[in-house]
Chains A and B, each alone.
Chain A
Amino acid sequence: MAEPMKMRASMSGDVADVKVLMNHPMETGLRKDAKTGQLIPAHFINEVTATLNGKPILAAQWGGGISKNPYLGFKVKGAKAGDKVTVSWKDNKGESNTAEAAVS
């Protein structure tokens, strides 16, 4: 199963600043194994969604060009301290993970 994500949401002015670190190998499918010369099969996060108190705020589609163990930062206007932000991802093999944090 996927490793846990790290997440933090903090207010700066009237904007909530959300930062997420995910654990994922992000294989593009173009890289070769140094020992066998075989292509390493693609394995990357291709869908990321974020919600604020259950309302969708961000929907992203990713390719293999995002770095390993991806970092994502985004900002939401109109959030308040105590609001719940959730971030979920899904990869091309159907694995998924979700993290939740309260805005502080």
Chain B
Amino acid sequence: MNALRRNVLKSAGMASVVAMAATAGLLKSGSALAAWNASAFDAKSVPDALKGMGAATPAESKDISIKAPDIAENGAVVPVEVTSSIAGTTGIAIFAEKNANPLIADFKMSNGAEGYVSTRIKMGQTAKIRAVVTAGGKTYTAAKEVKVTIGGCGG
């Protein structure tokens, strides 16, 4: 009786170990898209972040529109909408120039996704929001100043 109980416990333990290993493996294979670009996201300035992304000197473009408030009362939640009317847009990156880590997000589009993203970002202080668009192997950029009355990064 007791021996049987031991056996059951033992096999249950083994099974759960195997199951855990399997889920760990699954998680790993699911994240194989592209490694998180730490050098770009940890960069302290926009040029460094651009270097980390492998896009050194983007050209100013009027075909990128950034919709964001002129004055943000709460820097913790600043709505930002970036629309690129450049044909063949495959990437949009968003920066807040004076944040401790300026690179906020890097989007890659494919299979019919339009050159448009909308999200909400944190801003430490009044600064320019910069969008860097990748289209046809070239990079373009545009910026919009947002005044922040209460910063969102200090807590």
Which positions in A face B, CB cutoff 8 Å?
15, 19, 26, 28, 30-32, 34, 46-47, 49-50, 52, 55-68, 70-79, 90, 92, 94, 96
Contact = CB atoms under 8 A, between A and B. Distances in A.
Interface in B101-132: 101-114, 116-122
Contact of A64 (B31, B101, B107): B101
Interface residues of B, number: 41
Given A52-B111, A56-B110, A96 B120 contact: no
Nearest to B94: A65
Contacts of A26: 122
Contacts of B108: 58-60
B111 A56 contact: yes
Given A49-B33, A94-B27, A74 B118 contact: yes
Interface of B: 27, 30-31, 33-34, 36-37, 41, 76-79, 81, 96, 99-114, 116-122, 152-155
A70 B120 contact: yes
Given A34-B155, A47-B33, A47-B36, 12 more contacts: A28-B122, A57-B111, A57-B112, A58-B107, A61-B106, A62-B106, A66-B104, A66-B105, A67-B76, A73-B116, A76-B114, A77-B114
